[in-house]
Amino acid sequence: MASKNKANQLWVINLFSFLLFSLLGITGLINWLVLPRGPGSGGGFLFGLRHFLRDVHTWAGLVFIIVMAVHLFLHWGYIKTQIRRYGLMK
């Protein structure tokens, strides 16, 4: 039963990782390629959207780092096994 519970936890963490990574990619590309930059943008709707998406991008990045730490924690046994297997740790 414990193995199934861990598998479910890993699946949820992987799903959140994918969603956050996708959100980071989308917000980063929209800010970089679509929305106007600089002081000449006039402070209109698009300029406000740019700042909003930048905040979303920043917070998604922070949550993504936390989710990746949990991901590594849940895989730590496998990571140690592989490191020992290749002689990188005693």
Per-residue confidence (pLDDT) for residue 41, from 0 to 100: 55
Q: Per-residue pLDDT averaged across 3-23, rounded?
A: 94
Vertex 36: Cα angle to 33 and 39 (nearest 5)? 140
Q: How many CB atoms lie within 10 A of CB 27?
A: 20
pLDDT of residue 79 exceeding 60, the answer is yes
Q: What is the pTM of this model?
A: 0.81
Question: Mean per-residue pLDDT for 10-35?
Answer: 95
Q: Tell me, what DSSP letter sits at residue 37?
A: -
Q: How far apart are CA 75 and CA 63, in angstroms?
A: 18
User: Is the per-residue pLDDT at 50 higher than 90?
Assistant: no
pLDDT value, residue 43 = 64
Token duo for residue 33: 């390629």
